[in-house]
Chain A
Amino acid sequence: MAKRIEVSGLHAYYGGVHAIADISMTIEPRSVTAFIGPSGCGKSTFLRTLNRMHEVIPGARVEGKVMLDDEDLYGPGVDPVAVRRVVGMVFQRPNPFPTMSIYDNVAAGLKLNGVRRKSRLDDIVEESLKGANLWNEVKDRLNKPGAGLSGGQQQRLCIARAIAVQPQVLLMDEPCSALDPISTLAVEDLIAKLKSQYTIVIVTHNMQQAARVSDRTAFFNIAGIGKPGKLVEIGDTSKIFTKPEQKATEEYITGRFG
């Protein structure tokens, strides 16, 4: 499990709008990489190109290369659906399926991909909920609706749902921005625990969070309105937060803009 991602010369567009330009970086396996930067700089867009969710939006397209170990995600004949099974995603707002129970929410990815054996599903659901630090809170009400949980629990349910399909990489798009500090802490603990098994990429607006959870940090910026977002620099989190190479990074981190 856990694969290295190598991005080279990646551009993404929404219709005629050039959203991100010429991004190259390496994302290490079994570590947490955080993306920071001002709103609209393309962090989320870039994240969504890593599991081909970008192209779900009508008119959106991508150029460039994303290598997952030795496979190009954008190579000819690659099935985006298969990519998303390997690269899972957790969204900003908790989005459990409202018609499904807690159990069915976690089992959804497997069931919808044809796993039917009850005993196997039971095992994976328990394992995933334990993996998401949610098992003890919900084990007695697995048949209750997932939408009845608190926001933080819902988000951990979504993480359980994402890891139930056993991906190699886990992308998180501001997973804590809709949560209170205690739930945030629970999710951060979870991220620290999951990084031993997965390659984790997290977009966050909270710089303390990036400093707390990540091993490496990438800073994105935008030159101006209507210009594409760019990667300014990427490096070890300790270095980015203490002595970044670029002036823009330093200004952003010290709160002088953004």
Chain B
Amino acid sequence: MTTLTKPTDDLPPAARGSLGSVSAARKLKDRLVQILVYIAFALAVVPLVSVLWTVLTNGLGRLDATFLQFSMNGVGGRDEGGGAYHAILGTLEQVAITSVIAVPIAVLTAVYLVEYGGNGRLARAVSFFVDVMTGIPSIVAGLFVLALWLLTFGFTYSGFAGSLALTILMIPTVVRATEEMLKLVPNDLREASYALGVPRWRTVCFVVLPTALTGIITGVMLAVARVMGETAPLLLTIFFTKAINANPFEGPQAALPTFIWEQAGDPNQASIDRAWTGALVLILLIMLFNLGARLVARFFRPVSR
């Protein structure tokens, strides 16, 4: 790599005598920097590996059919058995509803910002508020839904209320990701389309969005993975339940993050084991989503050769 010999022209005249041999000091420096880079990399990976390892060793024990098929209904903290089916179901439903609401709003916002807004006052205002939304602490999103949807409008705790809180968190990330992808679409393509007499909206739908689709899908999947692990806004909006509630619009629902929170708060070993397995399932779900995103992205990738 960097120990390649340099052309002699680059060396000072004094060094030209020894053709190509690299001085000891340079070799040492090269080694030193290499070692530094490796150490930095190792340091960055330590927390990741440590978390994965801990979750795996503690969680694998309870990762069984019972865990995936049963709820906690009638299971006390001290009891063995019980499962997270209700929580997995809840998380999947809530995230699905969140995506259905957030993705269209966010993608359309990004299309407006990039394709139509230009540098106008409205576009700048929208852009500013998206930035503000990015910075909202997740519990504030939960409090907002609690105050508006539950306390002011009088709806009960439900998976849907949780989805609303997650929507607030998902929109800005998807807007930003989509915006970046749309900006990457070369202007040449838009002009080529306009020059064929294609109206702007059709250009956006059939040329710009398909070209950026891969990146948009990746962005959406990453946002999904992120909101899947949100706990704070759910605590205030979906409440707790130990039973299966398949209806996200009525009554308290469970979710994996709140399940983990609940089980980890119980001092009994059986509950703590369930919390670890819940965490493992959550990580696996998110990994599955990321994998899915990569596959979808590969499938839609603009072909070159």
Contacts and interface: CB of A to CB of B under 8 A. Distances in A.
Q: Are these two chains actual partners, yes or no? A: yes
Interface of A: 51, 53, 56, 58, 81-86, 88-89, 91, 93, 95-99, 108-109, 111-113, 145, 147-148, 158, 161-162, 165
A162 B197 CA distance: 10
Given A145-B303, A147-B302, A148-B305, A98 B189 contact: yes
A190 to B, nearest CB: 18
A85 B196 contact: yes
Contact of B197 (A56, A91, A113): A113
B118 A98 contact: no
Interface residues of B, number: 26
B196 A147 contact: no
A56, A82, A148: most-surrounded residue (chain B CB, <10 A): A56
Nearest to B304: A147
A148 B191 CA distance: 21
B303 A165 contact: no
Given A81-B198, A98-B302, A112-B202, A58 B118 contact: yes
Interface of B: 118-119, 186, 188-199, 202-203, 206-207, 210-211, 213, 302-305
Contacts of A99: 207, 210-211, 213, 302-303
A112 B303 contact: no
25 contacts: A51-B195, A53-B194, A58-B118, A58-B119, A81-B194, A84-B194, A84-B195, A85-B196, A89-B195, A91-B191, A91-B192, A91-B195, A95-B188, A95-B192, A96-B192, A97-B211, A98-B189, A99-B211, A112-B196, A112-B198, A145-B302, A145-B304, A147-B302, A147-B303, A161-B192
A93 B191 contact: no
Contacts of A145: 302-305
Contact of B198 (A53, A96, A98, A113): A113
Given A58-B119, A97-B211, A98-B211, A109 B191 contact: no
A181 B119 CA distance: 42
A63 to B, nearest CB: 21
B189 A85 contact: no
Contacts of B202: 112
B302 A53 contact: no
A148 B302 CA distance: 11
A97 B207 contact: yes
A226 B105 CA distance: 44
A111 to B, nearest CB: 8
Contacts of B186: 95
Nearest to B211: A99
A97 B303 contact: no
Chain B CB within 10 A, most for which of A85, A91, A97 = A97
A65 B184 CA distance: 36
Given A81-B199, A91-B188, A98 B304 contact: yes
Contact of A56 (B194, B198, B199, B211): B194
B302 to A, nearest CB: 4
A23 to B, nearest CB: 21
